[in-house]
Structure formats: C-alpha cells, structure tokens
Amino acid sequence: MRIEDIEYDFEGQRMVGHLAVDEFRIGQRPAVLVCHEGPGLNEHTKGRAIRLAGLGYAAFALDYQGDGQPRPRDEAMARLGVLMADLDVTRRLGRAGLEILLAHEFVDPDRVAAIGYCFGGAMVLELARDGVDLKAVVGFHPGLRSPEPGESSKVTGSVLMCCGVDDPVVSLENREAFEADMRASGVADWRLEIYGGVGHSFTNPRVDELGMPGFAFNAVADRRSWRSMLDLLEERLRPD
C-alpha cells in the first residue's frame, strides 16, 4: 500500500492532502475523492481513504482547512462560514483536490467518484452541481443547504446522501428542499437515506468527545451507510 501526504497550493494557501493506493495492482483503477468534516483533515478521513485503497480504489483525501490538520473549533467554524457563503470558493477547493487525484498515474479519469463527510458532503454535491464529471457523489451526514429547485441540472452522476433524522445541522426542511431540487433538476439517479434515532457525525467514533448535543457516533448507521456507498461505487465505477 502506498500512503503519502501530498502538499499543494490553493490560491496561495498551503494544503496537504492524503493519498492512498495499492500500487501492487496492475494498471489504472477507479478513483475516489474524499472530503473531510468541518474541523479539518483528520485520522477518520484518512482512514476512510486507506480503506478504499484496500478495496482497489485510488483515494485522495483533500484538504480545505489548510496545512492538512484539524483547526481549533472557533477557527474552523469561521472558515466554514466563509465557504458556506461563497459556493465558488467551495467548488474551487474541491476542484483543486480533484486535480491532484486525477494527476496520479494509477487513476482512470473516466471512473471517478467523490465522497464527503459533514461539510465535505456539501462540497462533493457542489462539485456535481458545477458539472464536474463524477460518476457518483456520496455524502455522510452532509451539509444540505436549501437550493433553488433546478439548481442541480448539471449533475450527471448518481447521488447518495446519508442523514440521521435527529441531525441538528440538517433539518427536515433541508432534506425536503434537496428532494425538490433533485426532482426539478431531472437528476436521473438520486437517493436520500434517513436513519432513525441518529444524529450528526454518526460515522466518526471520536465525535462523542466533543460533547455536542445531537452529535454522536452510531456504529449501525456507519456500517449501513458505508455498505450503501460501496454498492453504489461498485455499480458506477466497476460496471463490468
């Protein structure tokens, strides 16, 4: 397994992403861009990239907070406020990480997906809305803003968003607006999975340490959402 940190520049800011690929497999392989939770690139996201690499994908966990590490809560939230208010910057950050992945010799550029956690889930959805050629986008406890119906008309791949019904970050109105947008935009293949009794950051085993109401790890939802993602990646990136 080849695992390495890759430093890259985003408009003058130092970013450090995490690449994982099984270099002993022959030829190019499907690839997955991984986008971290709001605080920054951490072991949780890096571990997901490594798990994907072990399954035969080339995976790159990008960085949108800077320096490839989590930020203090206040600093991270301020940064997220900027990104949520400026979709152009969010999309450019996603594209910058995607360029690093696509430049890798082992990557098949025609078989690429993107997955994201928390705001990273919002980022992959914005990349798809921006017309990026992604065969699938998957969000885990994603940020779901309320778009104007029809805003996703450029989406060409499959969309899967996995949410907890008790997530304090994503309201019922947000989920309904997402559905309305998918319908109005004519997205051919989309799915919204809702897990009862589940809150935010349910995939992160260490989120309970934050002591934040509504934020809690849930092993069952984590396992089920990961399986749903793997099934979709298998379908879209390995159709043969």
Assess contact for 36 and 43: CB atoms under 8 A: no
> Where in the sequence is the domain holding 184, given as residue range(s)?
2-237
pLDDT band of residue 24 (cuts 50, 70, 90) is confident
Calpha distance 15→79 (Å, rounded): 14
pLDDT tens, residue by residue, 188-226 = 999 999 999 999 999 999 999 988 999 999 999 999 999
pLDDT band of residue 238 (cuts 50, 70, 90) is confident
pTM confidence score:
0.97
What pLDDT does 124 receive? Answer: 98
CATH number of the CATH domain containing 79: 3.40.50.1820
Q: How many domains does the chain have?
A: 1
Assess contact for 18 and 67: CB atoms under 8 A: no
